[in-house]
Amino acid sequence: MKSYELREKFLSFFKEKGHAVIPSASVIPENDPTVLFTTAGMHPLVPYLLGAKHPEGKRLANVQKCIRTGDIDEVGDTTHCTFFEMLGNWSLGDYFKKEAIAWSWEFLTSEKWLNIPKEKIFITVFAGDDDAPRDMDSYNYWLSHGVDESHIFFLSKKHNWWGPAGTTGPCGPDTEMFYDTGKEKCGPDCSPACSCGKYVEIWNDVFMEYNKTAGGKYEPLSQKNVDTGMGLERTITVLQGVESVYDTDVYQGIMNRIKQLADKEYGESEEITRAYRIVADHIRTSVFILGDQKGVTPSNVDQGYVLRRLIRRAIRFGLKIGIPEGSMPEIAEAVIDQYKDIYPELDENKKFVVDELHLEEKRFQRTINQGLKEFSKLIRKLGNDVKVIDGASAFRLYDTFGFPLEFTQELAAENGFTVDVEGFEKSFRRHQEISQAGAAQRFKGGLADHTEETTKLHTATHLLQAALRKVLGDEVMQRGSNITKERLRFDFSFSRKLTKEELEEVERLVNEYIEQDLEVVCEEMPLEKAKASGALGLFDSKYGNMVKVYSIGDVSMELCGGPHVKRTGELGRFKIKKEESSSAGVRRIRAVLLEK
Ligand code: SER
């Protein structure tokens, strides 16, 4: 079966079961300042999982483009990718375990659908603990479909629980479906819990029936949801009976192009195979980031930094297999060819994607060879005694030769060295003075654009949200924001057009807050405390427990990565340029700051 058939089958199956098919959201989250990328199908649906009404109804199905860079070091094995597509079906307070399990089983095993032999499928179910009981319902549903007891494993929360995405919020037990690759067991205890590769997870049905509170309690949710995720790449690997995701049709055109460009043979050695796969994976992900055209280009902050790291890492591994300089755009074209029928935006934005890759490659090519030489000199100088690269040297590689920190860390590790990250951050801060957030944190998220103009507009956005809520009520919640040097764009939930009077009042209020020259205070606190104190924001960050909360006088309190001005008096005059509809139930305001 080809990958396009899997997508089609999945969506038609769930259409038959009364689901509305919704499009993939962007890989760049629209309404969540706390994460850099859409990491799972549930991410763009969080407001609906929390009870907001979805315009398409209570049963949804989709294929979501996702990016997860947490496992970037694993890329190059048989299953890990930084970009992947997740097939999902969703019940927003509609059906629950019985139907979800029945449909998963039918889709996987029925001749009409995937026709996977039943004996190849293994199941895991939540074993129960002090927080929530053993999931006997799921267990019994599986048995009722004829799954043999010996194929069902009860596992702990570590394995069979999903969410909350942050520290509080909707979550619940899950039941996962694995495919037995037929490899030998790695030992007597080998089970789907083990990562030896015998069992590959292909689908996860999450039953969101609890809300984890700030106090760490699991309370039953009034709306019980189903969130399922089937990894397209992994499932197609199984269906095509190939060794790795890179040997499936989703990668075929891309791998072929790399083979033409490289002077080393794929499969020649483990190291070469890994390098091939890293180039393929990283350029594929870069194309999807650029292809959404959300203003992300290679840079030293936020998503741009991740993008830069991916491209530069691809170039470095490309060198290992003899890919000539300037080839990344060609590989990108192969990615676009592969996906343009499914994601037309890639083809529509082709020129932009290719140009950006070309530029970034040129920027890096200018310095990479010199940087690599510099690096070799450095480790020769340090010799066998000191196995640590000091912060100032790592910073020089970053600043002068464009080596992302993680890149230097990898090179160091390959040579048995480590890097003094704290020292690097110190130099970084001294030179840039842009943020207290650690440079190493940037890969996970943190630093925002720090020009004076955008900083002011960030603060203005908080004031705007506060004023809108004051004038229009608590229905107003941020749905997205986008800031350039010139203007801010703010999307928020509200059901109708604003009147002229309302807009004037909002503008007047913001200017009043500016006149009052309110102090802007940033506090770091645990997510739970932020939530309990009433700060606004989407509490579904997957990254760490500490968050930043910005307060402006007693006008506004929001979860935000910053940066912000020190006092509102710095902002100038606030002017709304336009108010319009953005999508169903969401309004959009564009505004600027003018000189006083
Ligand atoms: N959210 C779950 C996952 O990412 C199921 O979709 O696995």
Determine whether the shortest distance from the Cβ of 228 to ligand 1 is under 6 A. yes
d(CA 80, CA 75): 5
What's the gap in Å between 13 CA and the centre of ligand 1?
19
Q: How far is CA 290 from the centre of its chain?
A: 14
d(CA 451, CA 82): 30
Q: What are the pLDDT digits (tens) for 539-585?
A: 443 334 566 789 999 999 988 767 789 999 999 999 999 999 877 67
Q: For 424-441, give one letter per residue: b (16+ CB within 10 A) or e.
A: bbebbbeeeebbebbbbb
Q: Which atom of ligand 1 is nearest to the CA of 86?
A: 6
pLDDT tier for residue 262 given thresholds of 50, 70 and 90: very high
Please determine, for residue 511, whether its predicted confidence score (pLDDT) is greater than 80: yes
Determine whether the shortest distance from the Cβ of 40 to ligand 1 is under 6 A. yes
| Residue located nearest, by CA, to atom 4 of ligand 1 | 40
What's the gap in Å between 346 CA and the centre of ligand 1?
25
What's the gap in Å between 203 CA and the centre of ligand 1?
8
pTM of this prediction?
0.72
Determine whether the shortest distance from the Cβ of 229 to ligand 1 is under 6 A. yes
Q: Write the DSSP string, 479-544.
A: EEEEE-SS-EEEEEE-SSPPPHHHHHHHHHHHHHHHHTTPBEEEEEEEHHHHHHTT-BS-----S-
Contact predicate 332/286, CB 8 Å: yes
If one compares 262 and 442, the residue with the highest pLDDT of the two is 262
Determine whether the shortest distance from the Cβ of 481 to ligand 1 is under 6 A. no
CA distances from 120 to 9, 13, 182, 354 (A): 20, 21, 8, 42
Determine whether the shortest distance from the Cβ of 46 to ligand 1 is under 6 A. no
- Of 228, 235, 542, which is best to mutate to test ligand 1, by the most ligand atoms within 8 angstroms of its C-beta? 228
- Of 227, 232, 542, which is best to mutate to test ligand 1, by the most ligand atoms within 8 angstroms of its C-beta? 227
Please determine, for residue 31, whether its predicted confidence score (pLDDT) is greater than 70: no
Task: Give the CATH H-level superfamily of domain 452-594.
Answer: Threonyl-trna Synthetase; Chain A, domain 2 (3.30.980.10)
Q: Which pLDDT does position 432 carry in this prediction?
A: 56
Please determine, for residue 443, whether its predicted confidence score (pLDDT) is greater than 50: no
What's the gap in Å between 208 CA and the centre of ligand 1?
11
Determine whether the shortest distance from the Cβ of 476 to ligand 1 is under 6 A. no
Q: Which atom of ligand 1 is nearest to the CA of 66?
A: 4
What's the gap in Å between 404 CA and the centre of ligand 1?
30
Determine whether the shortest distance from the Cβ of 41 to ligand 1 is under 6 A. yes
| Residue located nearest, by CA, to atom 7 of ligand 1 | 229
What's the gap in Å between 177 CA and the centre of ligand 1?
12
Pairing of strands 556-559, 546-552: antiparallel
pLDDT tier for residue 475 given thresholds of 50, 70 and 90: confident
Q: What are the pLDDT digits (tens) for 476-494?
A: 988 777 887 788 999 888 9
Contact predicate 233/126, CB 8 Å: no
Half-sphere exposure of 218 (CA within 13 A, CB side): 17
Q: Which atom of ligand 1 is nearest to the CA of 163?
A: 1
Q: What are the pLDDT digits (tens) for 69-92?
A: 888 888 999 989 999 999 999 999
| Spatial CA neighbour of 356 closest among 298, 299, 313 | 298
| Residue located nearest, by CA, to atom 2 of ligand 1 | 229
Average of per-residue pLDDT values in the chain: 89
Fold of 3-245: BirA Bifunctional Protein; domain 2 (3.30.930)
d(CA 439, CA 446): 9
Per-residue pLDDT, averaged over 135-156, amounts to 97
